[in-house]
Amino acid sequence: MAESLGGSTSHVYGIDLHTLCLTSIGTADESQSQFALGTLDTQGDGSGGEIHIVNLHSSGTSSQDVLHSTVFKHTTGIRALAAAPWNASQLVVVSTEGLVELVSYDTEASSAATRSVAQMAMPPGGGGGGSATRVACHRMAGVKQTAVVVAGVGVVVWDTVEAVAAVEDPHVEAVAWHPTSPSILATSDSLGGISTRDLRSTPSHSHQASIECAHTGRIRALDYNPNLPYHLASGGSDGALRIWDLRHAEAPLITAANHSHWVCDLQYNPFYDQLLLSAGSDALVNLESAVSVSSATLATTHDDDEDSVRPVDGLVMQYDDHESSVYAVQWSATDPWVFASLSFDGRLVINAVPREEKYKILL
């Protein structure tokens, strides 16, 4: 168990099952951070998986924090999942067989099993042919009930109420929604390229921006800056995290090379976009500061007070709580200083931004 700056201790939730996916769930109680993780087949024989809803109740003192979970049986193993912003008790789930469905769960019900609400049918002859591998919902709760699914040789946009639309794009690896527009997507490919497209420009879905060699090899993770939607972060098999200005994408704004192996996932802090998390197959979680290319307004009190230090770019903290590849990181949907990471061996770790860095940002 690692200890971060300021004495904040990690909270570890471990299960004896393999896991790949993690999502953050919004709650009405701001003192609680809630995460959902999905497991692969519990027996490895197609008998089904589990969804664990893990809740951290913060008391202000780490020694008095309360961590508890509720476990729901699912009919299949789970390869990917995403919280549904339109309903706090629903998840979009991708099974290990590549099927996609919207499921509900009830932490108060006597039945500890998920219930299928809707299933996605792949459009015939569309670019989404083949089994699904990834899913993401738009963060804005006011957006229609829409998820984007990486499937086979393309991308499928699924409106859980109405219909699906397919986008043909071979070698798609990762996908991210534009933070304010549900019609704009960024995709990456296994060849190291990034494209953004407007889904309204059907049927061609013409590219808005394109970066041919953003990384060496696969780009495994993408995320838009929630406050600067022309900034896009990418993480690849080359171990690098890069931030791009899509208006001038000849070269990255910032490159951080603090992983020794693949970057499997990354995410901007939804409240303070100078902070980014990255997860690696080197079993590390990195908290990076990219304040110079963020929306933050920096005070200059350091000129008047020698003890006051403002944030700077670079690695804030490296967490080594995991023993195997870390496939997912998620910021809490309610607490801007709390985040979780998940490794293949079934270990979920909840950490907090170091107190020193938090005060640099706030003061």
DSSP readout, 18-82? -EEEEEEE--S-TTEEEEEEEES-SSSSSS-EEEEEEEEE--SSGGG-EEEEEEEEESS-EEEEE
Strands 219-224 and 172-177: unpaired
Q: Look up residue 303 and give its two tokens.
A: 């000129």
> What are phi and psi for residue 320, nearest 5 degrees?
-120, 35
Judging by DSSP bridges, how do beta strands 207-211 and 241-245 pair with one another?
A: unpaired
Instruction: Mark out the alpha helices in the chain (DSSP H runs).
Output: 355-362
Residues 6+ apart with CB under 8 A from 325: 262, 264, 280, 281, 282, 283, 343, 344
Q: Residue 269 contacts by C-beta under 8 Å, 6 or more apart in sequence? A: 275, 276, 277, 331, 336
Give CA angle at 340 (334, 346), nearest 5°: 140
Global pTM reads 0.90
CATH topology of domain 11-362: Methylamine Dehydrogenase; Chain H (2.130.10)
Q: Which residue's entry shows tokens 């951080």?
A: 256
Residues 188, 234: contact at Cβ < 8 Å? Answer: yes
Residue with tokens 């979680």: 285
pLDDT in tens, the chain (363 residues): 333 333 457 999 999 999 999 999 998 888 899 999 999 987 767 679 999 999 999 876 666 788 999 999 999 999 999 999 999 999 999 999 888 999 999 987 766 899 999 998 766 554 444 578 899 998 886 777 889 888 766 788 888 887 677 777 767 889 999 999 888 999 998 889 999 988 877 544 556 788 999 999 899 999 999 999 999 999 999 999 999 999 999 999 999 999 999 999 999 999 999 999 999 999 999 999 999 999 985 444 444 454 457 789 999 999 999 999 999 999 999 999 999 999 999 999 999 999 999 999 998
Which pairs with CB-CB distance under 8 Å and at least 24 residues apart come from 1-4?
Answer: 1/321, 2/319, 2/320, 2/321, 2/351, 4/317, 4/319, 4/351, 4/352, 4/353, 4/354
